[in-house]
Amino acid sequence: MFKQLLCLLFFVISFSSFAGEYQTNEEFLQQAFVGQAVPKAKLLWIKSPLKQTVADILQHRPSFLRTRYWQLDNKTVWILNETGKTKPISVGIIIENNQISLVKVLAFRESRGWEVKHDFFTNQFKQAQLTDNQKLSQPIDGISGATLSVRALTKLSTLALVFNQHIQP
Amino acid sequence: MSQRRKSLWRWLFKFHRYTGLSSALIIIMSAITGIVLNHSDELSLDKRFVVSSKLLDWYGIKASSANQGFAIQQQWLSQLNTHVYLDDKFLLDSPQPLVGIIYTADYRVIAFSNRLVLVSQQAEIIEEISFDNLQALGKNNDGGIFIKTAAGLQISTDDLLTWQASQATKIHWSTALTLPTTLQQHLQQQSRQNTLPYERVLLDIHSGRFFGQYGIYVIDFMAILFILLVISGLWIWLRHTLKTHRKKN
């Protein structure tokens, strides 16, 4: 009985360490602009026809009409949210020279699918660009049991590239 | 075949027949609810709510009441449980308490204890901005938007992009007022109808909880019967097959 209780306790403790906030937005921005001052945030308003593109990528109406981003030379940083199954996943995305250089899960609030936070998964997005038909230029391998989270990260990465393209002069 | 074995087979046939007949309804019910629950996301069953008074009564769901709200441009913003309403229309969900609302030329800013939500005139969410322990929301005559948090008073003058500490004193804080009686009654009625999602009802029917505290034991018993039904069915089929095979030879 004692052993079973210990196992249960271990399971609860280890499970609770999966979901949560892994990095604050401020920490992520400092990581993105390491050795430099974090630039002032800018606003991108999601108006037509961009709104329709966003809806097509997310496969639902966007739950926001503006998003903030940080830009320095050829680098843009985006912090976006998308619901996996029931709760939003916060993701930080760094784009340099129109290619993704880093995808990082900042907060994961769902009870399942947390495996997407690992580097072995997020590294797949590195060097990804936007194709002419608004898709990622490289395939992303899924994770069993984390389909919705994988889908959310793929959508957000695509979205960041679309936004990055939209703000180019 | 001995008389004893004959009567055993007869009993098995009878058991299979009557168990099948008596459990047919439960099997159909479980199958239908199971199929529908498998497509819960596509059917948005967790976002669609039961409106039937009888069903709500069955669950013992009582109406909540909200006495206070925030007046904004001839409209009222109020919160009932986790639902936030603009007049009598559902606007958004928030488990955190409502703190206030102000408006600018382009949008409205709604404050909850953990965030600000910018809402367009068409009631679309523009942006959500997280804060810790937000206590009050206000604005001054120059268009500055103020928030009061545990860190003190802060002002934003750039479309809520950045916040600075402030010592300002002439601030119009958003304060709660008593809701009109007719709206209170309307919201009371609404609150009951936005509580019970269809997914919950289907899950409860599927598990038997819908039928009261003994419902799950009935479903457990029926599940055991299903297993016995399969075993008895296989047994009968096997015996019949062997008998036919022997006759042929």
ipTM: 0.76
Q: pLDDT tens track of chain A, all 169 residues?
A: 555 555 555 444 444 445 688 899 999 999 999 999 999 999 999 998 999 999 999 999 898 999 999 999 999 999 999 988 888 899 999 999 999 999 999 999 888 888 898 999 999 999 999 999 999 999 999 898 888 999 999 999 999 999 999 999 8
Q: In this structure, are residues B208 and B97 in contact, taking their beta carbons and an 8 Å threshold? A: no
The answer, for B132 touching chain A at a CB cutoff of 8 Å, is no
Strand, helix or coil for residue B135: coil
- How many contacts, defined by CB atoms under 8 Å, are there between A and B? 24
The answer, for A3 touching chain B at a CB cutoff of 8 Å, is no
What domain range includes position A64?
Answer: 21-167
| In-domain check, residue A13 | no
Q: Find the CB nearest A65 among B126, B161, B162.
A: B126
Distance between A121 CA and the closest CA of chain B, angstroms: 26
The answer, for A68 touching chain B at a CB cutoff of 8 Å, is yes
Distance between A122 CA and the closest CA of chain B, angstroms: 25
Which of B109, B125, B126 is the best substitution to test chain A (most A C-beta atoms within 10 A)?
B126
CA distance B175 to B21: 64
Chain B 29-48, CB below 8 Å of chain A: which residues?
A: 41, 46
The pLDDT, as a whole number, for residue A19 is: 64
The answer, for A47 touching chain B at a CB cutoff of 8 Å, is no
CA distance A156 to A89: 10
The answer, for A43 touching chain B at a CB cutoff of 8 Å, is yes
The pLDDT, as a whole number, for residue A8 is: 52
CB atoms within 10 A of CB A92: 23
**Residue A88: left (phi > 0), alpha (psi -120 to 50), or beta?**
beta
Which of B127, B161, B162 is the best substitution to test chain A (most A C-beta atoms within 10 A)?
B127
Place of tokens 């360490």: A17
The answer, for A60 touching chain B at a CB cutoff of 8 Å, is no
The answer, for A41 touching chain B at a CB cutoff of 8 Å, is yes
- Partnered with residue B69 across adjacent β-strands are B177
Put simply, whether the predicted model's pTM sits higher than 0.90 gets the answer no
| In-domain check, residue A12 | no
Residue of B235, B201, B231, B215 lying closest to B26 (CA atoms): B215
The pLDDT, as a whole number, for residue A4 is: 57
Looking at the structure of chain A, the number of domains it has is 1
Place of tokens 């299903």: B226
| In-domain check, residue A14 | no
Q: In this structure, are residues A94 and A32 in contact, taking their beta carbons and an 8 Å threshold? A: yes
| In-domain check, residue A5 | no
| In-domain check, residue A38 | yes
CB atoms within 10 A of CB B164: 11
CA distance A82 to A86: 10
**Which tokens belong to B151?**
């860190």
DSSP, res A2: H
- Sheet containing A66-72: which strands, arranged edge to edge? A20-21, A99-108, A88-96, A75-83, A66-72, A42-45
Distance between B162 CA and the closest CA of chain A, angstroms: 8
| In-domain check, residue A88 | yes
**In which residue ranges of chain B is pLDDT below 50?**
none
Residue of A84, A163, A158 lying closest to A128 (CA atoms): A158
The pLDDT, as a whole number, for residue A14 is: 46
Residue of B231, B226, B204, B228 lying closest to B60 (CA atoms): B204
Find chain B residues with C-beta within 8 A of A41's C-beta: 161-162
The answer, for B159 touching chain A at a CB cutoff of 8 Å, is yes
CA distance B12 to B235: 9
CA distance B91 to B70: 14
CB atoms within 10 A of CB A76: 24
pLDDT tens-digit readout, B135-170: 999 999 988 999 999 889 999 999 899 999 999 889
Find chain A residues with C-beta within 8 A of B118's C-beta: 66
- Partnered with residue B75 across adjacent β-strands are B72
CA distance B58 to B205: 13
CA distance B66 to B178: 9
Find chain B residues with C-beta within 8 A of A66's C-beta: 118, 126-127
pLDDT tens-digit readout, A101-120: 999 999 998 888 888 989 99
Q: In this structure, are residues A77 and A91 in contact, taking their beta carbons and an 8 Å threshold? A: no
Q: Find the CB nearest B124 among A41, A65, A68.
A: A65
The pLDDT, as a whole number, for residue A3 is: 58
Beta strands in chain B (DSSP E): 68-72, 75-80, 83-86, 89-93, 98-103, 108-112, 115-119, 125-130, 136-139, 145-149, 152-156, 164-165, 172-173, 177-178
Q: Find the CB nearest A64 among B46, B125, B159.
A: B125
Residue of B130, B217, B171 lying closest to A107 (CA atoms): B130
CB atoms within 10 A of CB A146: 20
Q: In this structure, are residues B148 and B163 in contact, taking their beta carbons and an 8 Å threshold? A: no
